[in-house]
Amino acid sequence: MSGYLPIVLFLIVAGGLGVVVMFVGAIVRPAKYEKVKFSVYECGMPSLDENRKRLNLRFYIIAMLFVIFDVETVFLYPWAVSFDMIGLFGLIEMILFIVILVFGYFYAWQKGALEWA
Amino acid sequence: MNEIFMNVGFWVLGITAVVASLFMVTRENPVHSALWMLLTFFAVAGIFIQLDAEYIAAIQVMVYAGAILVLYMFVVMLLNPKSTGFIKVPAKVILGSVVALVLFLQFVMTLMGTGVIKSAQMSGMNLPEGLSNVKAFGAVMFTQYIVPFEVASILLLVAMIGAIVIAKKD
């Protein structure tokens, strides 16, 4: 547990630094407001229409499939690490797990969810 | 000393998680909600670390804060929801909530008396010597909890097929 103390200290220092910089900046800088100061310089072109455009639904399917196979990998990792303790039983178990998910993959494939055009 | 640190850490993380989740459900801008949800996920990951469940903490950050939040953002961008301000809560709903809260607290107090909660108190996993966190997790997951593990694959399959059925028109 004590190995996490540097991380806690880092978070405190990082957060504190942000707060200090903002407050010192607010006190020190002269407050002269000009129109140019509020423009989006160094942020690319001014946006022509709404920033939050509606995306194509295909992105959602791809993202969903990604998350599902991501979760599969989450299970795969401890399985691989503890493989010497669970042996053949674990192998069969994991094959079953993957076969069930492969059905879903083939379903997605056959339904054309992976096609972009 | 260590005990004090643990308790302070737990309270900081717990209050952060609760406050951030309350902010999440009350923001009008869905993107702000998502950012508060991110903070909630990180606080929960911190609690997992305190419980010596480092693998689950890492997964919490990678899968939830990484992938699932992005998925939520996709949904926000797909639907582009416009807030119509706060929902007007009728008085009887507030009254009902207060009654429910009182009943809940009574329920918790009764449970505290029986010692069911006590066994679930915060404590480390007490890992056997020479066994890494992930290895211990795997060894239990694939032997003792085999049924929930296989059910998880069915759940993922249902989620996958559901997403495709909803999203594909044909």
Size of interface A-B (CB pairs under 8 A): 143
CB contact under 8 A, B160 and A65: yes
Which of A68, A101, A113 has the CB atom closest to B168's CB atom?
A113
Beta carbons of B2 and A2 less than 8 Å apart? yes
User: How would residue B117 be classed by pLDDT, with cut points 50, 70 and 90?
Assistant: low
Residue with tokens 């966190």: B133
pTM over 0.80: no
**pLDDT (mean) for A85-96:** 89
Nearest CA of chain A to the CA of B92: how many Å? 37
Residue B134: pLDDT over 60: yes
The rounded mean pLDDT for chain A is: 85
Report d(CA A33, CA A85) in Å as an integer.
Answer: 67
| Confidence band of B75 (pLDDT split at 50, 70, 90) | confident
ipTM: 0.72
Nearest alpha carbon to residue A72 among A91, A49, A100, A107: A100
CA distance B60 to B38: 10
Sorted by where each begins, the domain ranges of chain A are: 2-110
| CA distance, residue B15 to nearest chain A CA (Å) | 16
Q: A16 φ, ψ to 5°?
A: -60, -40
Paired tokens of B38: 């991110």
Contact A4 B2 (CB under 8 A): no
Which pLDDT score is estimated for B77?
79
Please state, for a pLDDT cut of 90, what percent of chain B lies above it: 23
pLDDT at A42 over 70: yes
In chain B, residues 84-123 whose CB comes closer than 8 Å to chain A: none
- Helix then strand count (H, E) for chain B reads 8, 0
By CA distance, what is B149's nearest residue in A?
A: A97
Q: Inspect the interface and report whether the beta carbons of B163 and A65 lie closer than 8 Å.
A: yes
Q: Give the pair of three-digit tokens for residue B62.
A: 């990678």
State the fold for domain B1-86.
Four Helix Bundle (Hemerythrin (Met), subunit A) (1.20.120)
Mean pLDDT within A87-116: 88
CA distance B6 to chain A (A): 9
Chain B nearest-CA distance from A101, in A, is 6
CA-closest candidate to residue B37, choices B67, B69, B61, B59: B69
State whether residue B8 sits within 8 Å of chain A by CB: no
Q: Which fold has domain A2-110?
A: Methane Monooxygenase Hydroxylase; Chain G, domain 1 (1.20.58)
